Amino acid sequence: MACSLPPCVVSSADIESRLAPVYERFHLPVGRLEMMTGIRERRFWEPGILPGKISAETAEKAVAQSRLDRAHLGCVVHGSVCRDQLEPATANAVHHSLGLAGSALVLDVSNACLGLLNGMLLVANMIELGQIRAGLVVGTEMGRGLVEGTIDTLLSSTTLTKQDVKLAFASLTIGSGSAAIVLCDRKLSKTGNRLLGGQFQADTASHELCAGGVAAETHGDDRPRMQTDSEALLHAGIELAGATWQETKRVLNWTGSDVQKSFTHQVGRAHRRLLYEKLGLDPGLDFSTVEFLGNTGAAALPLTAALGIERGHVKPGDNVALLGIGSGLSAIMLGLNWAGTAKTG
């Protein structure tokens, strides 16, 4: 696993300063954004940079760290919400930049904050079926347009209500980030790390609780906007997570005591607390990045895992739980057994 972090840091205090007229109008307390979410800052890339460029750089890091011959990479999946354009697939830009074989399958996968985990399942299944020996999953989220577009909409609206502010609140937690994962069969592996399996569950009755897209005719620009019923989404997501974790433990033949470390989708402080309570896991197993990266969408969980591994959170021999939840609602939970970093030879 590898990740890339953007250079531009924007604090929650900076965002609230820009929203001062809205805060004054609705008598909102300053500091509310960080207090409610635990997010003190998030990061953005410079304007104009395309996700595919960053994804290619992050993918290059992951391939180098894996120490695999890139000729073995038989599939490239780009799994973030953000893409270079509607078509062709952004995975093409990554494939071209890495100089991969023409026989490698190239595709984008979209599933809100679960795209990269979906990509891991696709590549793992192709390996198990003997179709490929190794594959790459990568994605880059660009949060600047959503956050700045939301701020401009809140400031310019002549019909703004407190409910509108509430529905836009989650959009202000978004950050940017990039992550990549290389998977291969065990004979190619230079680590011994293993993806053990996992479970998927859906609650599509909740698909309208969080919805985003581009509506230029409404907002006057091509930046995305998002409306989120944060409280309802939080509780529905936690319930789905609980059911998915029970099935994941059954599939992996795990109990809670078999988990040494865990990584979750990065939403906010309340989500983290309620999730670990529901799953019956010690929050001390977790590695958190939401405080300084915000919610980085589909990149959030693998990015956090890459940083946690890099910073020594995971030790050789650890069983690691990847606890993914995305709007829709969907949940993917996977188990890893971590042996260490790639060895030469």
User: In the structure encoding, which two tokens stand for residue 237, read together?
Assistant: 């997501």
- Between CA 246 and CA 252, with CA 247 as vertex, the angle to 5 degrees is 105
Q: Indicate yes or no: pTM above 0.85.
A: yes
Instruction: Clarify whether 184 is annotated catalytic.
Output: no
User: In the structure encoding, which two tokens stand for residue 264, read together?
Assistant: 């979750």
Question: Nearest CA to 54 among 144, 187, 125, 134?
Answer: 144
User: In the structure encoding, which two tokens stand for residue 248, read together?
Assistant: 């994941």
| pLDDT, tens digit only, all 345 positions of the chain | 999 999 999 999 999 999 999 999 999 999 999 999 999 999 999 999 999 999 999 999 999 999 999 999 999 999 999 999 999 999 999 999 999 999 999 999 999 999 999 999 999 999 999 999 999 999 999 999 999 999 999 999 999 999 999 989 999 999 999 999 999 999 999 999 999 999 999 999 888 877 877 664 455 677 777 787 778 888 888 999 999 999 999 999 999 999 999 999 999 999 999 999 999 999 999 999 999 999 999 999 999 999 999 999 999 999 999 999 998 899 999 999 999 887 655
- What pLDDT score was predicted for residue 233? 80
- What pLDDT score was predicted for residue 223? 78
Among 3, 75, 82, 113, the active-site one is 113
Instruction: Clarify whether 87 is annotated catalytic.
Output: yes
Domains contained in the chain, CATH given: 194-337 (3.40.47.10)
- What pLDDT score was predicted for residue 309? 96
- Cα 23 from chain centre: 30
User: In the structure encoding, which two tokens stand for residue 54, read together?
Assistant: 């960053």
